[in-house]
Structure 1
Amino acid sequence: MSCNRTSAETFESLPPNGSHAWEAAAAPLRGCLAGLLVLMIAVGFLGNSVVCVIVYQRPAMRSAINLLLATLAFSDIMLSLCCMPFAAATLVTVRWRFGDSFCRLSAALYWFFVLEGVAALLIISVDRFLIIAQRQDRLTPRRAKAIIAASWALSFCVSAPSLAGWTLVEVPARAPQCVLGYTELPAGRAYVVTLVVAAFFAPFGVMLGSYLGILHAVRKNAVRVRNQSDTLDLRQLARAGLRRRQRQQQVSLDLSFKTKAFTTILILFVGFSLCWLPHAVYSLLSVFSRRFYCSPSFYTTSSCVLWLGYIKSVFNPIVYCWRIKKFREACIELLPQTFQILPRVPERIRRRVQPSTIYTCNENQSAV
């Protein structure tokens, strides 16, 4: 429903188009914002592409969690290619020049790739909870592939109704991108609530519960180890069988290796929450609040919220490069020789200089 077609007196004084303020902005400002968005597209595409290439080229890296991280990276790549360029063009021209049909398609693709990225992060969080808190490592690469395929199908089923016209998709100029518009139809509002709950609130609740459970298990284990160290003396430890200790050492090595990825996944969860909480609230207000949807500040609010949502696609590879040593090394190896500042050291020489670079990698101990 357009803001022009209203009989309410409270909305008669509202301007029909919230982009007039943006049209009045200086051209250099629009150019700077467009250039920044293009930089975000480049960083998001290249950084996430490196993740996919690493997992594809190295069989030792095709563990369950790495397949999920590659799926998350691929959804961000598609978001960078299928949605962000059109949003950048609309931010510069303040007009949607790609047709009404493609507007509805771009909105469906936007939610489709967002849902898949959230699903991948949700599966990773639940897997960390089962490994650390429940001591159950059930997610094999084969099961991960089946779950990934099911998540793609489910994400498509949830996002497809917007393409079929179940809810209003507003063609810019009221927003810099095709967004969910205000509607009074119960079916349309129910679909938007389902979409937002599936994209943010339900995954946020499950992931938050998983991380709280992990932190509780870690704290409980720390207290138990401290109590055992106080009650056991050196003689009791010496009487323990060597064979039993070797078995426990291998199990502890596998669990500790996977526990190291918990902090990285927690950072990804925090980034997801900060980037998508405003977008979820914004989407609900757009559909349920006509005053907000028809307000002069709607265009500015839409621009800020959409930019914040797109930052998540750039945020993930930066976290990988910051937190994961193997990812940094793989990035350096993938760089062309002309762009490398230091010469690459052959592997046999690196082993002699630094023997710790020799790793025993199996599918359970190979996280990106």
Structure 2
Amino acid sequence: MGNGSAGAAPCNGTAPPPPPPPPPAGHNIAALVLGIVLILLIVGGNGLVCLSVCTERALKTTTNYFIVSLAVADLLLALLVLPLYVYSEFQGGVWSLSTVLCDALMTMDVMLCTASIFNLCAISVDRFIAVSVPLNYNRRQIDLRQLILISTTWIFAFAVASPVIFGLNNVPNRDPSLCQLEDDNYIVYSSICSFFIPCPVMLVLYCAMFQGLKRWEEARKAKLRGGIYGGNRMLYHPSPFIERERVGMEPEEYHPYAHPEHPLSGDYVMSNGLQTVSYPHLKYPHPAHGQKRAKINGRERKAMRVLPVVVGAFLFCWTPFFVVHITRALCKSCTIPTQVTSIVTWLGYVNSAVNPIIYTVFNAEFRNFFRKVLHLFC
């Protein structure tokens, strides 16, 4: 940033001497090694996430399509942003490339970070709808509403970042040896749009979603205890299905007494430690419109429980960056060491490598796919 005095001339009218060149930057080997390792982890982990959802039938859920969109943002960050950032850090923080390339780097950085948090917001909106109006929610395949949500996240992310590529960084007395956002007002604007507004909205939606999910679980357990399903019931002794029901598996996900030639299609119920199955279609008509029973299956509930971990990891990694970022823009008298800025930026980028690890730890389907792929190479 220029200080406004570089163009002042002395009394004799001669041109001022040029500013001294920046000291030669030392090569930051640690940044180079960390950057290469981080790029490999992000590309490998998020690539496996995308591949798993595309190839595994069990992972083709609406929530996971949003997770793929989030993984694409992380992949693009690793391929388009991190190599240039690592190069700059390797040069000791001195930017030796063109200012046009710097502006492209800043645009992509802002857009992909914004896309990540907007994708998390879109997931929270989608999950809130799934819990609040389950009868109108399509669980089997992605529908128009979800496509609009995913598209909107990317359109808004580009809208927030686009002023940089359209010339906002071309300020007078710009220092070409530094690659940074040059307009303090834009720093405040982008931080508010990308982080400080979406985060509270997302947290409120998740709180409402889990309150709704808690009420749904309580109603479900009450039905299981009371055996509130009509129809002809057949009594079975306790079986492994009881444990599946206890941990949240739905009837359509597990049929312990089904045979390929004689499939069962009844409703399973727990009552006094025994398992019952009803066949309403044998004796009773199908439920009338308005009486259809909505279900949130076991796979969806497991996916919902992973999401707070993903959101928590995002907030842990990116909150320090945005606090430092907006403080530097708003407080001119505050001195923030370069090392602090570098650390919080690295921490933010680390988040792109964390998400695949979270899915592997908390989701059995992702874990099984990752294990299967790793066995092919080991």
TM-score, scaled relative to structure 1: 0.72
| Counterpart Cα distance in 1 of 2:168 and 2:211 | 43
Query: Cα 1:272–1:238, aligned 2, differ >3 Å: closer, same or farther?
Result: closer
Tell me the equivalent position of 2:150. Answer: 148
Tell me the equivalent position of 2:100. Answer: 101
Instruction: Return the match for 2:302 from 257, 260, 284.
Output: 260
Tell me the equivalent position of 1:330. Answer: 369
| Counterpart Cα distance in 2 of 1:5 and 1:288 | 22
Q: Which has the higher contact order (CA 8 A, sep 6+)?
A: 1
User: Which string of whole-angstrom CA distances, capped at 9 and with x for unpartnered residues, describes residues 267-296 of structure 1?
Assistant: 11111111221222222223233333xx4x
User: Is 1:310 the counterpart of 2:352 in the alignment?
Assistant: no
Q: Contact 1:72–1:121 (CA<8 Å) still a contact in 2? A: yes
Deviation at 1:135, TM superposition (A): 3.5
Tell me the equivalent position of 1:205. Answer: 200
Instruction: Return the match for 1:161 from 160, 163, 177.
Output: 163
Query: Cα 1:172–1:307, aligned 2, differ >3 Å: closer, same or farther?
Result: farther
User: Which string of whole-angstrom CA distances, capped at 9 and with x for unpartnered residues, describes residues 41-69 of structure 1?
Assistant: 11011100111112223455333222111
Unaligned runs of 5+ in 2: 8-18, 234-250, 252-265, 270-291
Q: Which has the higher helix share?
A: 1
| Counterpart Cα distance in 2 of 1:117 and 1:330 | 24
User: Which string of whole-angstrom CA distances, capped at 9 and with x for unpartnered residues, describes residues 170-225 of structure 1?
Assistant: 76755xxx332354xxxxx1x43332122111210111101221333344456667
Tell me the equivalent position of 1:344. Answer: none
| Counterpart Cα distance in 1 of 2:232 and 2:5 | 80
Deviation at 1:167, TM superposition (A): 4.8
Instruction: Return the match for 1:241 from 230, 242, 246.
Output: 230
Query: Cα 1:238–1:331, aligned 2, differ >3 Å: closer, same or farther?
Result: closer
Tell me the equivalent position of 2:76. Answer: 78
Q: Which moved more, 1:191-200 or 1:66-75?
A: 191-200
Query: Cα 1:328–1:314, aligned 2, differ >3 Å: closer, same or farther?
Result: same
Q: Contact 1:96–1:172 (CA<8 Å) still a contact in 2? A: yes
Instruction: Return the match for 1:299 from 317, 323, 338.
Output: 338
| Counterpart Cα distance in 2 of 1:148 and 1:336 | 33
Amino acid at match of 1:241: G
Deviation at 1:3, TM superposition (A): 4.6
| Counterpart Cα distance in 1 of 2:368 and 2:95 | 42
Tell me the equivalent position of 2:36. Answer: 38
Q: Contact 1:90–1:96 (CA<8 Å) still a contact in 2? A: yes
Tell me the equivalent position of 1:131. Answer: 130
Amino acid at match of 1:141: I
Query: Cα 1:219–1:333, aligned 2, differ >3 Å: closer, same or farther?
Result: closer
SS of the residue corresponding to residue 296 of structure 2 reads helix
| Counterpart Cα distance in 1 of 2:119 and 2:53 | 15
Amino acid at match of 2:117: V
Q: Which moved more, 1:78-87 or 1:146-155?
A: 146-155
Q: Contact 1:48–1:77 (CA<8 Å) still a contact in 2? A: yes
Tell me the equivalent position of 1:354. Answer: none
Amino acid at match of 2:119: A
Q: Which has the greater radius of gyration?
A: 2
Q: Which moved more, 1:50-59 or 1:317-326?
A: 50-59
Tell me the equivalent position of 2:63. Answer: 65
Deviation at 1:98, TM superposition (A): 2.0
Amino acid at match of 1:215: F
| Counterpart Cα distance in 2 of 1:338 and 1:215 | 40
TM-score, scaled relative to structure 2: 0.70
User: Which string of whole-angstrom CA distances, capped at 9 and with x for unpartnered residues, describes residues 293-334 of structure 1?
Assistant: xx4x44212201210110110111110111111112112222
User: Which string of whole-angstrom CA distances, capped at 9 and with x for unpartnered residues, describes residues 228-262 of structure 1?
Assistant: 58xx9x8xx46852379956979676344312112
Q: Contact 1:100–1:171 (CA<8 Å) still a contact in 2? A: no
Identity, % of aligned pairs?
22
User: Is 1:279 the counterpart of 2:321 in the alignment?
Assistant: yes
| Counterpart Cα distance in 2 of 1:91 and 1:304 | 11
| Counterpart Cα distance in 1 of 2:91 and 2:182 | 21
Query: Cα 1:5–1:286, aligned 2, differ >3 Å: closer, same or farther?
Result: farther
Amino acid at match of 2:148: A
Tell me the equivalent position of 2:358. Answer: 319
| Counterpart Cα distance in 2 of 1:180 and 1:168 | 10
Tell me the equivalent position of 2:2. Answer: 2
SS of the residue corresponding to residue 260 of structure 1 reads helix
Deviation at 1:113, TM superposition (A): 1.2
Deviation at 1:84, TM superposition (A): 0.9
User: Which string of whole-angstrom CA distances, capped at 9 and with x for unpartnered residues, describes residues 119-173 of structure 1?
Assistant: 2111111222222355455355132233322322222122111111235687675
Q: Which moved more, 1:109-118 or 1:134-143?
A: 134-143
